């Protein structure tokens, strides 16, 4: 037994990520290294090197679940969300990286070389985020996303620029995570963590709104799975023989 423990504790083994985490890292890197053509200059730039853009995460139902903006490199912001605990959204269990299937990005190419302190660029970015946020709400079956805060108010009116949408999950991992029972268990876990955060801290209404939204999303998945397996017709009566389990 001691020999097995020593072999498993070999320093090189600590460098290997769990399968699903490694899959996320690899496919996210592939997504961020896709070339995106700047419609103003005709030049291509890696998606991860874009700045001044708005992004949306989508789940396994194609449901928009989170909208954000950045004026730093997109790869820095997205990796902070999905591959570590450095954002409040992940650390406080608002956003579950394993729930993200696709990412859509709306870059503002006219500001790619603009200083991050530019008020004009920031106003345009705020206006674009609010537009994408409102569009996400309109396309959501729950009329809600998991953002803890509403986007900034902007007096500017803008149109959405051309976007790029891509998947960050392999087929193998998709087959695992897309199963409704897996998604139910994962969502219940994240909800429990969020509820614990709320119970232990003085929080603002945004976190409670996220919990409410997650509860609706959990109920939706539970209902889908229940109906998929036959709904009421699948429930055994107490007077029927050959129960499939030992409950009751």
> Is residue 220 included in any domain, yes or no?
no
| 53-110 residue pLDDT tens | 999 999 999 999 999 999 999 999 998 888 765 556 666 678 899 999 999 999 998 9
> Is residue 147 included in any domain, yes or no?
yes
> Is residue 2 included in any domain, yes or no?
no
Phi-psi region of 42 (alpha: psi -120 to 50; beta: other; left: phi over 0): left
Q: What's the number of domains the chain is made of?
A: 1
| 35-48 residue pLDDT tens | 998 777 788 889 99
> Is residue 186 included in any domain, yes or no?
no
Distance CA 28, CA 35 (A): 14
Q: Per-block average pLDDT, block size 10, for the chain (248 residues)?
A: 50 64 90 88 88 96 96 91 67 84 95 90 96 97 95 90 94 95 95 92 91 96 96 89 54
- Cα–Cα separations (whole angstroms), residue 178 to 65, 105, 181: 16, 23, 9
> pLDDT at position 80, please?
86
The token pair that represents 96 in the structure block? 């579950």
Q: List residues bridging with 46 in a β-sheet.
A: 35
> pLDDT at position 248, please?
42
Largest Cα separation within the chain, whole Å, is 74
Element (H, E) at 68: strand 64-70
> Is residue 48 included in any domain, yes or no?
yes
- The predicted model scores a pTM of 0.86
The token pair that represents 177 in the structure block? 């995570």
| DSSP secondary structure string for all residues of 12-64 | GGGGPPPHHHHHHHHHHHHHHTSEEE-TTT--EEEGGG--SEEEEEE-TTS-E
> pLDDT at position 170, please?
95
User: Residue 61: which domain range?
Assistant: 18-178
């Amino acid at each position: 037994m001691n020999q097995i423990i020593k072999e498993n504790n070999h320093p090189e083994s600590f460098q290997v990520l769990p399968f699903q985490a490694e899959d996320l890292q690899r496919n996210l890197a592939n997504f961020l290294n896709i070339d995106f053509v700047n419609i103003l200059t005709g030049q291509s730039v890696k998606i991860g090197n874009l700045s001044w853009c708005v992004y949306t995460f989508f789940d396994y139902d194609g449901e928009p679940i989170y909208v954000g903006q950045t004026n730093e490199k997109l790869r820095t912001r997205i990796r902070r969300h999905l591959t570590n605990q450095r954002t409040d959204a992940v650390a406080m269990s608002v956003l579950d990286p394993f729930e993200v299937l696709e990412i859509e990005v709306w870059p503002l190419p006219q500001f790619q070389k603009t200083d991050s302190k530019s008020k004009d660029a920031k106003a345009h970015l705020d206006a674009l985020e609010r537009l994408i946020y409102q569009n996400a709400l309109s396309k959501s079956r729950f009329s809600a996303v998991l953002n803890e805060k509403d986007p900034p108010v902007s007096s500017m009116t803008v149109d959405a620029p051309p976007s790029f949408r891509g998947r960050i999950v392999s087929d193998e991992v998709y087959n695992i995570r897309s199963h409704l029972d897996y998604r139910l268990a994962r969502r219940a876990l994240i909800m429990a963590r969020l509820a614990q955060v709320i119970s232990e801290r003085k929080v603002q209404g945004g976190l409670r709104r996220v919990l409410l939204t997650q509860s609706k999303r959990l109920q939706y998945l539970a209902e889908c799975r229940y109906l998929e397996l036959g709904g009421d017709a699948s429930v055994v009566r107490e007077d029927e023989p050959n129960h499939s389990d030992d409950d009751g």
